[in-house]
Amino acid sequence: MPRLDADRVAAWRAFGVVAADVQRKVEAGLVDDYDLPLAWFEILASLQAAGGSMRVGELCEVLHELASSLSRRLDRLEEHGFVSRTATPVPDDRRAVTVTLTPDGRAEWRDANVTYRRMVQQHFASVLSDSDIAALHRIFGKLES
């Protein structure tokens, strides 16, 4: 295993700074166009990718979130009419809740997805070659636990 040297620490810091910067730029586009924070968009996108609904626990896993943090965001999304939450009859788990995209939530995701993709293209994908993308996938694969 390589030692934690100055070069590796610098790479770690650069990774965090660049990731945060690109996320801020993507979020700025979503907020400017739809008044939609990136964290909300990620929830809508995850639900859309899952066919429109998921249990809260599954959504936490997909988003790598704690239930308490996600709950506050779901409250806001529900207030805006983008999602609904219903109790799920699961034996031995009275807390099971399913989150479902509403028609307004699907429309918001569909419209915001255009901005999201444009911002990802502009601030991330357009500056990377195919070999850069392959290297990132290889690196991220190593980092996944």
pTM for the structure as a whole:
0.89
- In the prediction, which pLDDT does 23 show? 98
- In the prediction, which pLDDT does 68 show? 87
Ranges of the chain with pLDDT below 50? none
Q: How far apart are CA 41 and CA 31, in angstroms?
A: 10
Q: How far apart are CA 31 and CA 26, in angstroms?
A: 9
Give 3-state DSSP helix, strand, coil % of the chain, rounded to 5: 70, 10, 20
Domains defined for the chain, CATH in brackets: 9-125 (1.10.10.10)
- In the prediction, which pLDDT does 1 show? 80
- In the prediction, which pLDDT does 69 show? 87
What residues contact 70, with CB distance under 8 A and at least 6 apart? 43, 56, 59, 60, 63
